[in-house]
Amino acid sequence: MSTESSINSAPKPETTTGARVRNFLIAIVAIALSVALVLGLKTETTSTSLASLDQASTPLEIAISNGKPSIVEFYANWCTVCQKMAPDIAELKQQYTEKVNFVMLNVDNTKWLPEMLKYRVDGIPHFVFLAEDGETVAQTIGDQPHTVMASNLDALVAGSSLPYAQTSGQVSQFHAPVTPTNNQDDPRSHGSQVVN
C-alpha cells in the first residue's frame, strides 16, 4: 500500500500542464470577451441620433443664401427609416461638410409647414437637393443606400444632374396638416364651444 500511496501523492506532469493550458485558454477567452464587450458598447454609444444631426445642421435660411448646394432632409424622431439612415447621413455630412449644407427639418414642428407643402412631403425621410442658388434640383424619398446618396451629392457639388433623382425607397408615412389644428378645450375659441 505504501507504493500506491506514493504514486497517488506524486504530482503528475500531464495534470499540471493540462491545468496551465486550461487556465491560459480561459484567460484568452476572457480577454476576447472583454474586448468584444468594450467595442460593442463603444459602437452603441457613438451611434448617431437624429437630434444630434439636427443640432449640427445648417439653418435653412443660411443654406439657401450662402452659395453652397444643400441637401434638406425632412424627418421625425419617431421615423424608423430616418433613424436607420442617421449614421449614413452623419458620415456623408462629415465627408461633404465643406462642399454641401446639410439641413434637417423636423416635420413635427409646424414652423416647417410651408416647406412641407412646397416640397409635397408625404413620406419621410424626404430629401430635397438644392443648387447653389437655392433652386430645387431633385428630390428623393425614403431609405436611400449610402452609395446612392454619395453619388447624388457628388453630382450636386459638380453642378451636374443627379444620377438618382426622383428615387424612392422605404418610407414612414406622414401627412402634413393643411391648417393648424383647433383645440376644443381652448377657452379663447368661444364659438367652438357652442353646440347647436
Cα–Cα distance list, 168 to 124, 155, 171 (Å):
10, 18, 8
Catalytic residue among 82, 104, 107, 130: 82
Taken in order 65, 52, 142, 78, the sign of the CA dihedral is negative
Q: How far apart are CA 96 and CA 107, in angstroms?
A: 24
Contacts of 148 (CB under 8 A, 6+ apart): 140, 164, 167
Catalytic residue among 72, 79, 103, 162: 79
Q: How far apart are CA 116 and CA 174, in angstroms?
A: 10
Residue 82 annotated as catalytic: yes
Q: Record the cell numbers describing residue 20, joined without a space.
A: 496551465
Positions marked active-site:
79, 82
